[in-house]
Amino acid sequence: MKISLQEAADTLRQAQNIVITAHINPDGDAIGSSLGLMHALQSLGKTCRVYLDDDIRDTFRILPGRDVIQRPDKENPQPITGADLLVILDTTSDRIGRIGKLCQAPVLNIDHHVTNDAQAEKTYVDGSRAACAEIVHELVQLLGVPFEGHKDMATCIYTGLATDTGFFSFSNTTAHTMRAAADMLAAGVVPNVISEALEKRPFEDVQSLAKALGYIEIWHEGRAVGVFLDHTRMAELTHTEGLIDNIRVIEGADIAVVMKEKEEKKIRVSMRSTGLDVAAIGKKFGGGGHVRAAGCGFREIPFAEARRRLLAAIDAALDAYKPAKV
């Protein structure tokens, strides 16, 4: 059921023991939004826990509260008990791993992806917002939590805003986004501290990324670029984060794609574009996202077959796409 943001705030006020989660393969927006909302709710006297069913990059250790994030045990996951509300941020309930099964509580879903299917008991979606953190910024105001005096909360929200906008360089950045970021700076956030911390990489990771870049492929007369890392190639690499950002800048490319098989027959796909609707491509395979940034996954099929299906969808979309003339 779709609800208003005011109704979402009212739902949070009525709950006392809240579990927050977000999508697998969590990015800065998923983590920042989760921790930012956690800090806000804790300031209101709520009991609040954050669960993410995936690995979290070490670079996010700068975020206040990062150490309290829990992940279900891989071998013997235990039920998440005592919750009277499960809040899903930045995605739908089918992309949160095992959390939905482990936490049997009413669901409030808050998202900024237009592909959200609104299947949760209560869903608020605003596709005009650049990041879920931008919605959390509005939600915090409705909850009556001031940004001043809550630097930890502001740091987390700012990180979500910054990472989902390419540090305010992507086309999704709006005047509203910048005003939200300004509120965080007024609360004491220091932008360069966050950007520098998130940009740092161990030497070995930079080497690994360089090796991954050696697998770049270009097709469709240069309009598509991609890196395809099957299980064998992934075993050679220690780090692939940020790979999509390194290839999306190739001149002439309308779409960039990274396909990874971390475990056999468990494949993740990230896509970026200059205008081609990659959310529509992702939706064909159970994923989604935004027009210019989306993803999807494949399970229980060989990497070669998943790649074939994905490339067929990309080629068809490119054949139909006519870029706007500048």
Q: What is the DSSP letter of 299?
A: E
How far, in whole angstroms, is CA 181 from its chain's centroid?
A: 18
* Per-residue pLDDT at 262: 87
State whether 209 and 254 are in the same domain: yes
- Dump pLDDT digits (tens) for 167-217: 999 999 999 999 999 999 999 999 999 999 999 889 999 999 999 999 999
Phi, psi of 109 (to 5 degrees): -110, 125
The last residue of a domain, from among 141, 171, 199 = 199
How far apart, in whole angstroms, are the C-alpha atoms of residue 35 and residue 136?
A: 10
* Listed residues 199, 234, 253: the one ending a domain: 199
CB environment 20-46: b (16+ within 10 A), e (fewer): bbbbbbbbbbbbbbbbbbbbbbbbeeb
In the chain, the number of structural domains is 2
Q: What distance in Å separates the CA atoms of residue 122 and residue 135, rounded to the nearest whole number?
A: 15
- The letter for the amino acid at 198 is L
- The verdict on residue 180 lying in a domain is yes
Q: Which two tokens stand for residue 7?
A: 């109704």
271 and 310, same domain (yes or no): yes
Q: What pLDDT is recorded for position 325?
A: 61
Asked if residue 165 is part of any domain, the answer here is yes
The CA–CA distances, whole Å, from 219 to 106, 254, 292, 311, 313 equal: 46, 11, 19, 10, 14
Same domain? 193 vs 217: no
Task: Quote the pTM value.
Answer: 0.89
Length reported for the chain: 326
Mark whether 106 and 74 lie in a shared domain. yes
- Report if residue 326 sits inside a domain: no
Q: Are residues 15 and 121 in the same domain?
A: yes
Task: Give pLDDT tens digits for 24-62.
Answer: 989 999 999 999 999 999 999 999 999 999 999 889 999
- Same domain (yes/no): 105, 18: yes
pLDDT above 80: residue 218? yes
- pLDDT attached to residue 112: 96
Q: Is residue 314 part of a domain?
A: yes
Q: In which domain, by residue range, is 295 found? A: 203-320
pLDDT at position 114: 87
- Give the pLDDT confidence score for residue 241 in this predicted structure: 87
CA distance 6 to 16: 18
* Dihedral angle over CA of 22, 239, 298, 219, nearest 10: 120
Q: Which among 168, 199, 230 is the end of a domain?
A: 199
125 and 214 part of one domain: no
Summarised one tens digit per residue, pLDDT across range 283-315 is 999 988 889 999 999 999 999 999 999 999 999
Same domain assignment for residues 88 and 139: yes
- Residue 17: its H or E element: strand 17-22
Count Cβ atoms within 10 A of the Cβ of residue 127 and give its class: 0-12 exposed, 13-18 middle, 19 or more buried: middle
Tokens of residue 218, six digits:
């270009």
CATH number at residue 66: 3.90.1640.10
Count the neighbouring beta carbons within 10 Å of the beta carbon of residue 108: 23
Give 31's DSSP letter. H
Q: Looking at the domain assignment, is residue 228 inside a domain?
A: yes
Judge whether 40 lies within some domain: yes
How confident is the model over 86-141, as pLDDT tens digits?
999 999 999 999 999 999 999 999 999 988 989 999 999 999 999 999 999 999 99
Q: Do 34 and 125 share a domain, yes or no?
A: yes
Q: Kindly report the CATH number assigned to the domain that includes residue 311.
A: 3.10.310.30
pLDDT, tens only, 60-97:
999 999 999 999 998 899 999 999 999 999 999 999 99
Helix (H) or strand (E) holding 326: none
Nearest-angstrom CA–CA distance, 158 and 164: 10
- Whether 219 has a pLDDT exceeding 90, the answer reads yes
Same domain as 209, residue 192: no
Instruction: Select from 147, 184, 188, 143 the least CA-distant residue to 162.
Output: 184
| Same domain membership, residue 266 and residue 178 | no
Is 325 a domain residue?
no
CA-nearest of 20, 51, 9, 33 to 131 is 33
Residue 289 inside a domain? The answer is: yes
- Cα separation, 106 vs 12, whole angstroms: 11
Half-sphere exposure at residue 238, Cβ-oriented, CA atoms within 13 angstroms: 8
Q: Is there a single domain that holds both residue 218 and residue 177?
A: no
